[in-house]
Amino acid sequence: AQKITQTQPGMFVQEKEAVTLDCTYDTSDQSYGLFWYKQPSSGEMIFLIYQGSYDEQNATEGRYSLNFQKARKSANLVISASQLGDSAMYFCAMREPNTGTASKLTFGTGTRLQVTL
């Protein structure tokens, strides 16, 4: 069974600094996908970034990048130049291999990030 581990329940970062949110995963599959979502206090889940297991380069989307270390089974999210609006809950998730039905996601328990002045 797949498992996602986020060991940091909460993190603080100063505005304009970079922050890394940890995510490790456990799977016996060779083909998989990793996602990061942001959940502000309002509740909606916002997709941030995706990394495929066969992607050779780390994914980047604006201020978000994914530090993908396949041998260590880690997929850490790096947010550069933090802004107050980055304060939110962040979830790491893994997509199960397509089995002919819907591609399900397994989520970690999340990390609450607080950006301070």
Note whether 45 binds other proteins by CB under 8 A: yes
Shortest Å, Cβ 12 to other proteins? 19
**Residue indicated by tokens 């997929």:** 75
Residues within window 5-24 making contact with other proteins, judged by CB under 8 A: 9
Which is nearer to other proteins, 12 or 47 (by Cβ)?
A: 47
- The single-letter code of the amino acid at 3 is K
Q: What three-state secondary structure class fits 51?
A: strand
Shortest Å, Cβ 97 to other proteins? 8
Shortest Å, Cβ 41 to other proteins? 11
Note whether 50 binds other proteins by CB under 8 A: yes
Residue 95 corresponds to which tokens in the numbers above? 């997509």
**98-110: buried (b, 16+ CB within 10 Å) or exposed (e) per residue?**
eeeeeeebbebeb
Q: What three-state secondary structure class fits 3?
A: strand
**Residue indicated by tokens 């998730």:** 93
- The single-letter code of the amino acid at 43 is G
Residues within window 70-109 making contact with other proteins, judged by CB under 8 A: 91, 93, 97-98, 101-105, 107-109
Q: Which residues contact other proteins by CB under 8 A?
A: 4, 9, 31, 33, 35, 37, 42-47, 50, 52, 91, 93, 97-98, 101-105, 107-110
